[in-house]
Amino acid sequence: MKPIYKAVILVLFFSYLNVIEAKEVSLYQVKVNEITFSIDPRIELFNIIAMQAGHPGMTLSNISYKLECLTHFAKYKNLEAPKLLKATMQKGWGIDDPMFFLLYLDYNFNLKEGLDSEIIKRGGGIEQITKLAKSFKNFAKKSHFSTFFNKIQKGFYNQILLNVKYNFKNFKGVEYLENYFGEKANSYNLILNINSGYGNFGKKILTKKGIDLYAIVETNTHSGNIPTYYPTISIIDLILHEFSHGFVNPSIDKYKEKLSKNKQLYEPIAQSMQHQAYWHWQVTVNEHIVRAIVTRITEQYFGNLLSNNTFYKLMIARRFIYVDAIIEKLKIYENNRSDYKNFNEFVPELIKVFDTISEDYIVEKQNKVENIRNTSIEKIPKPYEFANDSTTYFIVSTRESNKKKEKQMQLFVSKYRDMISKEINIVNDTEALKMNFSENDIVIFGTTEGNLFLKKYIDNIPIKITKNCIISNKIVKGTNLQLVTSWISPFNDKKSMIIYTAQKIDNIKDFFFSVSKDQYHYWIAENLIPIDVGNYEKYSRVWMPKIY
């Protein structure tokens, strides 16, 4: 055989081997509005190995997939990978280091160049990291991971992505980010971490084509045996937050030396920052700026009420006290985009904000943190949790614009009271304003304008009512909406305040026909048909509608 033919055959043979190797594992991906959602073999293999090593941080969701991963690979637990992974983590890897290590493996589990030197150092050095990568590759081969990933779970993975495609069809996160920053990343990648219960992570990777942005996202919700991902408050926050770091960090980090002159600002918030794993001033600066930008973006696209009631409130509760000053600076950028082509051009002006922070500012914002937190509230009552006796007061409105409808509402309240207990007292709003209800449960009926007592205390609750919508953890649009909600009494946090209200007085009626109205902390309906129901939960010492 002529040498040239031999060479061609060898090239074809090795090309064939490369194709076979490249197809070792499938890629499950769907692109929705410029975000590539994927189920990643590297992440799934990590979780399988981690479970065999006894990792305690797996999802609490009762999905059969978790058990399948555990049992299917149990006979391979004595391979090197579980033991080596555990040893690497014990050498000093932080919670996010394994995720970033995985992004520097190719899809055949070979270690690529570029892994951060600090991650290598914390993991015990390059020899340890290289051994770990090889052990992952060996585990995948000996356990026939590709068969499990490519064939056995194919329908499961595709169903998750089909749901994601539907759930995120109206989410334009990339558009929001690029409009705000005036720049584009090369790619936006959201990896669905199905078995994770150990957190969410973001990473930017610089390539020849530009910056690739990654967010690795878990979920604690499921429908049947299918994990569900949809744009909740927490997921929107996570996506905008993690992808924003890809724009913010490179622009801000150029000014480390200048920003170090303000490092004394770290001390007043050090404890809170360290609890969130932000141990250094520069990292804290980036976190403040990213979070401030997320609230600006969410306000622009979802409105002031939803943004302030969720994103902003959580940010302040976590003691990011410099964001108010940063937000005022960002408004200059937003209002002068003809002068600033992109965010990067505005950064020299933005970082001047830290020179303006005074002791008085710090004291004021520290107080704001405590005022926003509901530290003393241990439990939120449900709407049915009030005493059915003479210690309870029903409070009716007397300032409704339609007096005929007001009278009908008052008759409904009387009838409703009689159905529960005739011992319950009924008083009007003006009388109630003069009374002390420290030993009483109170139940309020009327609109926010027509009931003066309700008008005084409506801002206590984390639900917002406007003439065009009611805002919980989402915007429920409508002009004939009803709301039943519960909160602690403003007089005694061990007593209940229940509210029966609506956008219009016409719709405060017939609540006794609904069996579901008092089973949740809030119930939003139209003509007694539930539109949005849910419960309040506590995040960073703040009670609000569930954000996950």
Q: Is the dihedral of CA 413, 417, 418, 419 positive or negative?
A: positive
3-class DSSP state of 239: helix
Are 160 and 63 within one domain?
yes
Are 408 and 352 within one domain?
no
Is residue 14 situated within a structural domain? Answer: no
163 has a pLDDT exceeding 50: yes
Chain CA centroid to CA 216, Å:
12
Please write the tens of the pLDDT for every residue from 323-362. Answer: 999 999 999 999 999 999 999 999 999 999 999 999 999 9
Q: What is the pTM (predicted TM-score) of this model?
A: 0.87
pLDDT band at 13 (very low <50, low <70, confident <90, very high): very low
Are 358 and 412 within one domain?
no
pLDDT band at 220 (very low <50, low <70, confident <90, very high): confident
Match 């997939």 to its residue by tokens: 65
Are 399 and 367 within one domain?
no
Q: How far apart are CA 445 and CA 440, in angstroms?
A: 16
Instruction: Output phi, psi for 428, to 5 deg.
Output: -90, 170
Q: For the residues of 40-97, what is the DSSP string, one character each? A: -HHHHHHHHHHHHTT-S-B--S--HHHHHHHHHTGGGTTSHHHHHHHHHHHTT--SSH
Give the domain extent around 448. Answer: 393-545
Please write the tens of the pLDDT for every residue from 144-159. Answer: 999 999 999 999 999 9
Are 56 and 196 within one domain?
yes
Is residue 7 situated within a structural domain? Answer: no
What is the CATH number for 511? Answer: 3.30.379
Q: How far apart are CA 310 and CA 131, in angstroms?
A: 45
476 has a pLDDT exceeding 90: yes
Q: CB neighbours of 134 closer than 8 A, spacing ≥ 6?
A: none
Instruction: With beta carbons less than 8 A apart as the criterion, state whether 450 and 401 touch.
Output: yes
Match 């048909």 to its residue by tokens: 529
Q: Tokens in use for 27?
A: 């890629």
Q: CB neighbours of 371 closer than 8 A, spacing ≥ 6?
A: none
| 231: DSSP letter | -
How many helical (H) and strand (E) elements, i.e. helices and strands, does the chain have?
22, 19
Total number of domains constituting the chain:
3
Q: In the prediction, which pLDDT does 30 show?
A: 98
Instruction: With beta carbons less than 8 A apart as the criterion, state whether 171 and 237 touch.
Output: no
| 384: DSSP letter | T
